[in-house]
Amino acid sequence: MDRRKFIKRTSLASGGLFFVPQFLKAFDQHIINPFSNKKIVIVHLKGGNDGLNTVVPFRNDIYFQKRQQLALSANEFFKITDEVALHNSLKPLQKLYNNGYLSIINNVGYPNPNRSHFRSSDIWQTASNSNEFLNTGWVGRYLDHTKSKPHNAIEVDESLSLLLKGKHQNGLALTNPKLLNRIVKEPFFSNVIQHYNDTHLSEHNLGYLYDSMINAESSAKYIYEKTKTQKSTQTYPKNVFGKQLKTIAEFINSGLETQVYYAGLNGFDTHVNQKNRQKKLLTIYADSIDAFIKDIEKNDSFKDVLVLTFSEFGRRVQQNASKGTDHGSANNVFILSKNLQKQGLYNNISNLQNLDENGDLKYTIDFREIYATILNNWLQVNDTKILNKSFSKLKFIKPNN
Amino acid sequence: MEAKHIKHLYNRIGFGITPNQTYHLVGLSKKEIVNQLFNTSKNTTPLTVKVDFNFNDLKDKTRRRELVKKSKRKLKEYNIAWIDRLFNPAELLREKMTLFWANHFVCKDNNILLVQQYNNLLRKNALGNFGDFVTKMAKEPAMLKYLNNRQNVKQNPNENFARELMELFTLGQGNYTEKDIKESARAFTGYSNNFKGEFILRKKKHDYDEKEFMGKTGNFYGEDIIEIILQQKQCARFISNKIYTYFVNDNINKDHINQMVSVFYPKYDIKELMKFVLLSDWFYADENIGVKIKSPIEFLVGINTIVPFTINNKKHTFLIQRLLGQTLLNPPNVAGWKGGRNWIDSNTIVTRLRLPSVLLNNAEISYSDKGEFEDTVTDFNEKKLRKKVAIATITKWNVFTENFKNITIDELTQQIIITTINSGTAQLLKDTKNVSKQDFCIQLLSLPEYQLC
């Protein structure tokens, strides 16, 4: 729908033409923004995925020694190089790998790793040092920096993670655009917005509250109007993660101006009987990703999308006594894109001989170098301003796409 | 005392007030009302839930995991007990101060026994002596655990506790050196606890050598370090700033802070400081009334003050806390909730404006189980995880009717909203006045203006 029609419809729907709805102001501001069509989808494997059993060093004796019951046997993985194999559950990604759309970055972590799920997730989300407490996420700061609106970053969930919270602007959490739109369209809610007549938005707390309300309303309306006709015909696995990716694909294919999407898959904290659990989870992950890529590819959107998959930490090399693994440190990160500069394994897999004092992998790539590269090469913004620090850029993505 | 000022006072040191209560206070002087507040908070009623297990059997891994699970269930119970307490507080000021300190000495743990002990330490010292408070906190097992002081040993000092002690608990960033941190960490080496939750000094792990801290030299223990910190006027200033931000205004007035510091330093009597603030003229200045954004807990408990309600399914209590962005006993990190405008994003504002209808009028709310890291999720079925619920409550509208019986619909607005209403919204309210008193009340609770106190 074009903008004129949109204005007409909303003013009619709200019944009053006397007050110009405030949210239209937001749109005017928005249109001025130059807008890049590049998007990132961030996937968090929550709980700490065991990277060693995901990207498997199947020729390494130490791997088998330390994981007597957990090491994958030959029929549980498929080779991608002479030294490295992937967990069989990731089979659906093989084609993407062969096409050169998958880059695996190994040994990603940060100095003085924290082994608490919460703390380490915060560190990944805020891009802070491990002894530093930030109240904004790096995506939130991206919104601040680009003077974006809430709908420019969407978490497919009911509540907003720190990742999407900025100093001045927050992203939006939503699972069902129809539902959110229905809530903000409730007569009382929209009446209050219609009647609000203070132009000094945001200067005092009351203005800030109204501003947030108006932003929520305009974003909800915008997303609903823009996406309501876009229904995916792709079949996805029937689980929460599949549903999240389906929603994201619908949003992307409908041409929504959202640049960052965030989704998560729970349950990777495999202290006990890891093998089955991880197998099941990785299957959910790979099947959903496979469906997702096919879906956006049909619409020729894959060329503008980069998928980043991370976990807050990896797991200990030595398995524990309960056929599981405990919290570790460095881990691998998956990048899916059609614009990879370096395809396949980005760097060598972990050195299992040189572990830290806890028996964990030592990181060789700071996770913030990945963020910096994405911000700089892909989203084409000043990464130093957003990460508050300069990090060296990696070469997994082609610059200036 | 003026009704408006009474309401303001109760918004800040409590969770609002009913017209009935206000009516009984109007004849009294400021001093009488404030003294009464302190008198009713003289005692401390500890908050406990019944726990019929202990943690002395932690060697065995399976057993330990079982205990952690049990303990987590108890923590949820404790969370609910805390909310219940806030809904019906006997020692109002003390409970509000407890919430304040819980976001100052921030701590989180899985062990219900330690959490309970820590939580009641906050409650007991909420209006006591700040110096004693910090010293006790430095020996509190939950805190020692949370800030890794159990790993702080002579052979390999861990600086986490020492750093946060100065950065977050006493002085604030920039008022100490890295060397001060290193030296003070040594003074706290060996500070640990036994499985019963009692403090112990592990003698073999303590560094008895000389330390140099803030220009002083000696064979300091942790207590000596705290002593030296308290001698810094900056400590009194740091705490005064924090109390001012929480109880008075996000924007600091330096003159007011200076006055507070001269009351607080060097005795560090919290009660005296709070009394000074609540008796000051500036506390009741117009610029300080109705300008703070309520915390989710203040918002939730505040609704209950106007229309008492109980949530039928206790699980929904967590859901509400999560959607609003503040789950008691589960702070985001050691710096706590940042507060103010940070409470508000597109999602929380929508939740807030909708919650009164959900709680009082059976409107629906949809949510999904985000799940916890430790969850052994075996069922990934979407339908089971994503739910749309009506949060069933029992609402005591009869109490509302009784408390507000002498209040006309016209007067209801200024009873419930303390700030000046946006003129457009005021017009809207005028136009929608021919609804029932109950419905009008829900409308008022659903306004952006109601988010302020």
Domain count, chain A: 1
For residue B27, the model assigns a pLDDT of 92
Per-residue pLDDT of chain A (401 residues; tens, 9 = 90+): 343 333 333 333 333 233 333 444 444 444 434 456 899 999 999 999 999 999 999 999 999 999 999 999 999 999 999 999 999 999 999 999 999 999 999 999 999 999 888 889 999 999 999 988 898 999 999 999 999 999 999 999 878 899 999 998 999 998 888 888 888 888 888 888 888 877 655 668 999 999 889 989 999 999 999 998 888 999 999 888 999 999 999 999 999 999 999 999 988 999 889 999 999 999 999 999 999 999 999 999 999 999 999 999 999 999 998 899 999 999 999 999 999 999 999 999 988 999 998 899 999 999 999 999 999 999 999 999 999 999 999 999 988 65
Q: Does A322 touch chain B (CB under 8 A)?
A: yes
Residues 135-174 in B contacting A (C-alpha not used; CB under 8 Å): 163
Quote the ipTM score.
0.92
- The secondary structure of residue B288, as a DSSP letter, is G
Q: Does A216 touch chain B (CB under 8 A)?
A: yes
pLDDT tens readout for residues A80-104: 999 999 999 999 999 999 999 999 9
Q: Does B419 touch chain A (CB under 8 A)?
A: yes
- The secondary structure of residue B203, as a DSSP letter, is G
Residue A2 lies in a domain: no
Average pLDDT over residues B170-195: 94
Q: Is B44 exposed, middle or buried (0-12, 13-18, 19+ CB in 10 A)?
A: middle
Q: Does A197 touch chain B (CB under 8 A)?
A: yes
For residue A6, the model assigns a pLDDT of 34
Q: Which domain holds residue A92?
A: 36-148+228-387
Q: What tokens were used for A272?
A: 């006990």
Q: Which residues of B touch A269 (CB under 8 A)?
A: 373-375
Q: What tokens were used for B15?
A: 């969770």
By C-alpha distance, the chain B residue nearest A191 is B428
Compute the Cα dihedral for A315, B112, B195, B200 and give only its sign: positive
| pLDDT at residue B379 tops 90 | no
Question: Across chain B, what does the average pLDDT equal?
Answer: 92
| pLDDT at residue B347 tops 60 | yes
Q: Which residues of B touch A48 (CB under 8 A)?
A: 373
Residues 48-67 in A contacting B (C-alpha not used; CB under 8 Å): 48
Q: Which residues of A touch B386 (CB under 8 A)?
A: 175, 240, 243
By C-alpha distance, the chain A residue nearest B418 is A206
pLDDT tens readout for residues B220-235: 999 999 999 999 999 9
Whether residues A213 and B368 touch (CB distance < 8 A) is answered with no
Q: Is-contact A172 A155, C-beta < 8 A?
A: yes
Q: Is-contact A301 A253, C-beta < 8 A?
A: yes
Label residue B349 by pLDDT band (50, 70, 90): very high
Per DSSP, the three-state class of B390 is strand
For residue B367, the model assigns a pLDDT of 60
- 3-class SS letters over chain A: CCHHHHHHHHHHHHCCCCCCCHHHHHHHHHHHCCCCCCEEEEEEECCCCCHHHCEECCCCHHHHHHCCCCCCCHHHEEECCCCCEEEHHHHHHHHHHHCCCEEEEEEEECCCCCCCHHHHHHHHHHCCCCCCCCCCCHHHHHHHHCCCCHHHEEECCCCCCHHHECCCCECEECCCHHHHHHHHHCHHHHHHHHHCCCCCCCCCHHHHHHHHHHHHHHHHHHHHHHHCCCCCCCCCCCCHHHHHHHHHHHHHHCCCCCCEEEEEECCCCCCCCHHHHHHHHHHHHHHHHHHHHHHHHHCCCHHHEEEEEEECCCECCCCCCCCCCCECCCEEEEEECCCECCCEECCCCCCCCCECCCCCECCCEEHHHHHHHHHHHHCCCCHHHHHCCCCCCCCCECCCC
Residue A142 lies in a domain: yes
Q: Is-contact B26 B259, C-beta < 8 A?
A: no
Instruction: Tell me how many degrees the CA angle A307-A263-A238 measures, rounded to the nearest 5.
Output: 105
For A44, phi then psi, to 5°, come to: -105, 115
Whether residues A206 and B333 touch (CB distance < 8 A) is answered with no
Say which residues have a Cβ less than 8 Å from residue A117's Cβ, sequence separation at least 6: A46, A47, A48, A269, A312, A327, B373, B374
Q: Does A273 touch chain B (CB under 8 A)?
A: no
By C-alpha distance, the chain B residue nearest A201 is B422
Interface test with A, best of B321, B330, B347, B364 (most A CBs within 10 A): B347
pLDDT tens readout for residues B37-83: 999 999 999 999 999 888 776 677 788 888 888 999 999 999 999 99
Nearest to B299 by CA among B449, B85, B88: B449
Residues 278-307 in A contacting B (C-alpha not used; CB under 8 Å): 284
d(CA B373, CA B323): 18
Rg from Cα positions in chain A? 22
Whether residues A267 and B366 touch (CB distance < 8 A) is answered with no
d(CA A153, CA A173): 9
Q: Which residues of A touch B62 (CB under 8 A)?
A: 322
Q: Which of B342, B368, B447 sits opposite A158 (nearest CB)?
A: B368
Compute the Cα dihedral for B322, B325, B327, B331 and give only its sign: positive
Residue A110 lies in a domain: yes
For residue A159, the model assigns a pLDDT of 82
Element (H, E) at B213: strand B211-213
Per DSSP, the three-state class of B200 is strand
Residue A240 lies in a domain: yes
Residue A100 lies in a domain: yes
Give helix B112-125 / helix B92-102 axis angle, nearest 10°.
120
Residue A210 lies in a domain: no
Q: Which residues of B touch A128 (CB under 8 A)?
A: none
Q: Does B353 touch chain A (CB under 8 A)?
A: yes
Q: Which residues of B touch A210 (CB under 8 A)?
A: 422, 448
Interface test with A, best of B245, B324, B327, B373 (most A CBs within 10 A): B373
Q: Does B200 touch chain A (CB under 8 A)?
A: no
Give the distance from residue B129's alpha carbon to the nearest chain A alpha carbon, in angstroms. Answer: 29
By C-alpha distance, the chain A residue nearest B427 is A195
Whether residues B323 and A159 touch (CB distance < 8 A) is answered with yes
Q: What is the CATH number of the domain that holds A102?
A: 3.40.720
The DSSP bridge partners found for residue B386 are: B368
d(CA A18, CA A21): 9
Give the distance from residue A343's alpha carbon to the nearest chain B alpha carbon, in angstroms. Answer: 31
Residue type, A171: G
For residue A32, the model assigns a pLDDT of 37
Q: Does B296 touch chain A (CB under 8 A)?
A: no
Q: Does B427 touch chain A (CB under 8 A)?
A: yes
For residue B377, the model assigns a pLDDT of 45
For residue B62, the model assigns a pLDDT of 81
CA atoms within a 13 Å half-sphere pointing along the CA-CB vector of B272:
14
Instruction: Tell me how many degrees the CA angle B195-B200-B201 measures, rounded to the nearest 5.
Output: 140
Asked if residue B266 has a cis previous peptide bond (ω within 30° of 0), the answer is yes
Say which residues have a Cβ less than 8 Å from residue B176's Cβ, sequence separation at least 6: B166, B167, B214
Compute the Cα dihedral for A380, A384, A385, A387 and give only its sign: positive
Residues 374-393 in B contacting A (C-alpha not used; CB under 8 Å): 374-377, 380-382, 385-386
Residue A104 lies in a domain: yes
Whether residues B345 and A160 touch (CB distance < 8 A) is answered with yes
| pLDDT at residue B384 tops 90 | no
Q: Is-contact B272 B262, C-beta < 8 A?
A: no
Average pLDDT over residues B110-117: 95
For residue B93, the model assigns a pLDDT of 98
Residue A75 lies in a domain: yes
Say which residues have a Cβ less than 8 Å from residue A132's Cβ, sequence separation at least 6: none
Nearest to B340 by CA among B301, B291, B305: B291
Q: Which residues of B touch A150 (CB under 8 A)?
A: 345-346
For A19, phi then psi, to 5°, come to: -90, 130
Q: Does B286 touch chain A (CB under 8 A)?
A: no
Element (H, E) at B315: helix B314-324
Compute the Cα dihedral for A207, A211, A217, A218 and give only its sign: positive
Give the distance from residue A268's alpha carbon to the nearest chain B alpha carbon, in angstroms. Answer: 7
